[in-house]
Structures are given as structure tokens and as C-alpha cells.
Amino acid sequence: MDLRELYGKVIEVSACTGIKITGEVIDFYPSIGTSSGEDEIDIFPNNTNHIICLKKSEILQVKIIHP
């Protein structure tokens, strides 16, 4: 899965922590620019004022809700 392709889309993500997050992907960080060495995305969940950052290794499943 290429996280870059999720930028700007509304998705539902199942994370390895057991939570599901639904929201818009508002940013993408390529692995070369992250401290983890992995691709990362920022998700702005619906109806909250928080931004959640997920690494590629933390994502188990992605469902695109709105392209």
C-alpha cells in the first residue's frame, strides 16, 4: 500500500493498536524525512480537533470512504 495515494481522501483505518480511525488524510511524509524511517500520514478524524499520525507499520487495513 502506498500511503501517498491516500492523501486528501477520507479513509477508515484499522491500526495495530486495535482502534479504527475515520477521517481525512491531511498530510503525507515520505520515509526519507521521518525519524522512524517509515512513510507516515496525518489523519484529521471526523468531529474532533486532534490530528493522528500513523506510521505505515501501524496500519493493518485501509478502506477508502470518499476519494
How confident is the model over 3-51, as pLDDT tens digits?
999 999 999 999 999 999 999 999 999 999 899 999 999 999 987 889 9
Instruction: Tell me how far apart the 2 most distant CA atoms of the chain are, in Å.
Output: 32
Q: Residue 25 is part of a domain; what is its CATH number?
A: 2.30.30.100
How many domains is the chain built from?
A: 1
Q: How far apart are CA 46 and CA 40, in angstroms?
A: 19
Domain range for residue 46?
3-66
User: Would you place residue 1 in the very low, low, confident or very high pLDDT band (cuts 50, 70, 90)?
Assistant: confident
Cα dihedral sign, 62-7-67-1: negative
In a 3-state reduction of DSSP, which class is residue 53?
strand
Does the pTM of the predicted model rise above 0.85?
yes
Q: Terminal CA-to-CA distance of the chain, rounded, Å?
A: 16
